[in-house]
Each structure stands twice: as C-alpha cells, then as structure tokens.
C-alpha cells in the first residue's frame, strides 16, 4: 500500500474536510506526489542493449516530502557527514518545543523553526565555551523533526555533537572525557528563557498565557557518530512515513505500524483515511526551509580546520572508525521483450523526442 495511492483515492474528501488547514506548501507537495512517475514534463529514455526495444519513463517528482523519492539525496548527505566523523564520543542533544507553543509553529512554521535553530545553537555554543571540559569551539549538526513516532505534531531538533572542542588561540584540540557533556536541566532552563525572549522581543509574537516552567531537553551519550547519523537520515528526504509501514486501507480506515519509544515494541495505529492524510501532510515544511544545518567546526567552510584536527588526532594515536563507502543506487530497467538490462540514453522533454538529451541522475 502506497501513501500516494491513498492520497489519490481520498483526495476529494480530504480537500473538503481540511480546506482551511491546507497550506500552499501542502498543495505543492500534493501536486508533486500525484504526478510523481506518472505525468512529468521530462521523461527518461531507455534502449535495450540486446534488441531494438526502446521505452520512455516519467521522472520522479523529487519533492522532499515524497515517500518514493530522494534516496540519492539521503545517501549523499550521509556520505558527507561520514567524512566529518571524528574518533571521539558523540552525544545527541534534543530540544523539544512545549505543547503550548506548537499552535504558533503550525501557523508560523518558518519563523518558529528558524528561531528554534538559532536559539538552540546559541545555547550549545555558550555551554561549550563555559564548560571546564571543553572551553572552546565545538561543531554540531542539527536536524529538525516535526513528528513523533505516532506521527503526531511534535516539533523538536536533534543535535549530533562530537565530544571535543578546538582552542583557536592555542591551536589545540581538547577531548571531553567520560560519559557526560552538559546538564540537561540547565540546558532546558536557558533554552526556555532564550526562546521566549526571542519570540516576544525579536519576532513580536504574543505567547499563550500558560507556559510550563519546565521544558524538555535530552542529552544522551550515543557512542560513535555513525549510528546516530543513520538514525537521523531516515526521515530527512523521504517523507514522514515509509510506504512499507502502511499496512492497509480498508473501508476508509488506514493502519500503519510504528515502534513505540517506551516499550520498544511495534504497534499499529488506525485512523480514518482523510485524518491519516492530514496526519502526514501537516509535516510538510515551508518551501526553502532547511531541515538540516551544520554549525561551528562542522560547517562547510571549516573543512581545512577539520582536516587539521583529524591530522592532530591521528598523530596522537587516535583510531579513526572504518566507515563503508556509501554507494548511490543506480537506476536500472529490464527490457520487457528479452529481459536483458536496458541502457539509460538521457532525458528529454515529454513529446519532444528530438530535444537534446541531458545527463541527469534519476531515481528508478
């Protein structure tokens, strides 16, 4: 069962039920997914290597919310992040937006998510500078998730942080020891104060009357960095719910499975089809909003400094993790006549066979 099939079958009822809640970004995502691999302006041209058979195929929509696209984008991101891995312990720090402020995130997602990123990043940088163990510049990668495992609206940002800092004055790398990075309760206090000040003073947003005094920030040791990166990459560019998690669509009721974070067991959730569609589409991000951001030593313009740090660690005897090279999935087609592999010839405009082909990477 595919999400796009459910969307196509129940689109009319969904539009009627959620007309006021559907944002322009949602409509763009819906249009892209419904045309994915079915009706595109450009098509890929293939030719059999053993016989004379040729065939044209529509391209993928490429939308980041589409569950059947963007595999290569995820692969590329993971490969770039793997190149930045350091032979140190890693931590995952998660900043969660409290329930009372989520209505603001729904109505002003771009402003709220940008504020969450900037405030949380400033908190981490300041804690690192004031830390007795670190006392320098750190690097970290933030990934925005807008849902929990049940796919409810639950905005939070995961930050992956290598436990070490660089002192620019001494040109020294300082490695954090033990299984402790920052105090989560102190992080939560500063996170609450700074975000509320940012929303009211800089964005002029009126906050709800009742806001909890205790916010949630989680800081946990995750060992090496690669498993954490792979965890974060699951939902980056391939939609909120993978198609293989959808179990059934029977009598207007859609069931999907998820892994419960508390019991670690697989559970099934069933919703009316139109509610299920909104449950997934409410997580479509505004166009142009970056879901992933690198800070400090992990920024793109710090590549030379990272290489120096990696060299310093190697000279000091650190053993770098052996990371298997991430391979891109190549598109393949099989000839329907002789069942032999077909060769990709290029991409041309739909209906304009004499157009000049272009060499683009496509998703099968």
Asked if 360 contacts 347 with a C-beta cutoff of 8 angstroms, the reply is: yes
Establish if 274 belongs to a structural domain. Answer: no
The pLDDT of residue 103 is: 95
CA distance 24 to 107: 12
Per-residue confidence (pLDDT) for residue 336, from 0 to 100? 85
Does residue 321 lie in a domain region? no
Which of the two residues, 258 and 354, has the higher pLDDT score?
A: 258
pLDDT digits 0-9 by tens, 97-132: 999 999 999 999 999 999 999 999 999 999 999 998
Residue 13 phi/psi, 5-degree rounding, is -65, -40
Higher-pLDDT residue of 236, 215: 215
Report pLDDT for 362: 33
Residue 343 belongs to some domain of the structure: no
- Report d(CA 203, CA 105) in Å as an integer: 13
Range in 44-58, 81-95, 106-120, 226-240 the model is least confident about: 226-240
- pLDDT for res 141: 94
Average pLDDT for 8-15: 96
Q: Please tell me the distance from the alpha carbon of residue 328 to that of residue 213, in angstroms, as a whole number.
A: 47
End-to-end CA distance of the chain: 18
Instruction: Tell me the three state secondary structure of residue 172.
Output: strand
Q: Quickly state the pLDDT bin for 237 (edges 50, 70, 90).
A: low
Mean pLDDT of 259-266: 90
In a domain, 216, yes or no: yes
Q: Is residue 136 part of a domain?
A: yes
238: nearest Cα among 66, 28, 29: 66
The per-residue pLDDT for range 178-215, each reduced to its tens digit, is: 778 999 999 999 999 999 999 999 999 999 999 999 99
SS3 content of the chain, % helix, strand, coil (to 5): 35, 25, 40
* pLDDT of res. 238: 66
Does 323 have pLDDT greater than 70? no
Please compute the mean of the pLDDT values over residues 59-68 and round it to a whole number: 83
Contact 191, 120 (CB under 8 A): yes
Is residue 329 situated within a structural domain? no
The pLDDT assigned to 1 comes to 64
10: its two tokens:
């129940």
pLDDT at residue 23 greater than cutoff 90? yes
Q: Would you give the distance in Å from CA 100 to the centre of its chain?
A: 24
> Domain total for the chain?
1
Whole-prediction pTM:
0.85
**Does any domain span residue 333?**
no
Q: Domain residues for 123?
A: 71-236+299-315
pLDDT at residue 63 greater than cutoff 90: no
Residue 259 included in any domain: no
Percent of the chain with pLDDT over 90: 52
């Amino acid at each position: 069962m595919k999400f796009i099939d459910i969307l196509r079958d129940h689109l009319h009822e969904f539009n009627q039920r959620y007309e006021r809640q559907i944002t322009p970004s949602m409509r763009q995502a819906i249009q892209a997914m419904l045309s994915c691999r079915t009706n595109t302006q450009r098509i890929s041209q293939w030719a059999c290597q053993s016989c004379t058979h040729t065939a044209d195929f529509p391209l993928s929509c490429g939308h980041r919310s589409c569950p059947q696209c963007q595999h290569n984008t995820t692969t590329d991101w993971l490969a770039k992040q793997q190149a930045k891995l350091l032979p140190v312990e890693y931590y995952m720090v998660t900043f969660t937006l409290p329930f009372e402020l989520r209505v603001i995130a729904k109505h002003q997602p771009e402003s709220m998510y940008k504020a969450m990123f900037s405030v949380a990043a400033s908190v981490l940088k300041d804690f690192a500078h004031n830390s007795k163990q670190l006392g320098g510049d750190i690097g970290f990668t933030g990934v925005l998730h807008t849902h929990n495992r049940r796919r409810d609206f639950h905005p939070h940002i995961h930050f992956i942080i290598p436990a070490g800092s660089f002192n620019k004055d001494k040109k020294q790398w300082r490695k954090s020891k033990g299984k402790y990075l920052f105090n989560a309760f102190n992080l939560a206090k500063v996170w609450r104060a700074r975000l509320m000040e940012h929303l009211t003073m800089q964005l002029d947003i009126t906050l709800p009357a009742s806001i909890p005094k205790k916010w949630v920030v989680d800081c946990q040791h995750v060992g090496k960095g690669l498993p954490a990166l792979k965890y974060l990459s699951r939902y980056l560019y391939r939609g909120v719910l993978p198609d293989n998690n959808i179990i059934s669509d029977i009598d207007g009721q859609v069931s999907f499975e998820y892994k419960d974070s508390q019991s670690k067991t697989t559970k099934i959730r069933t919703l009316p089809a139109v509610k299920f569609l909104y449950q997934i589409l409410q997580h479509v991000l505004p166009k142009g909003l970056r879901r992933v951001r690198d800070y400090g030593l992990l920024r793109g313009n710090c590549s030379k400094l990272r290489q120096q740090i990696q060299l310093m660690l190697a000279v000091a005897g650190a053993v770098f993790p052996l990371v298997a090279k991430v391979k891109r999935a190549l598109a393949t087609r099989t000839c329907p006549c002789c069942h032999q592999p077909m060769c990709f010839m290029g991409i041309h405009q739909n209906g304009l066979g004499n157009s000049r082909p272009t060499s683009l990477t496509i998703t099968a």
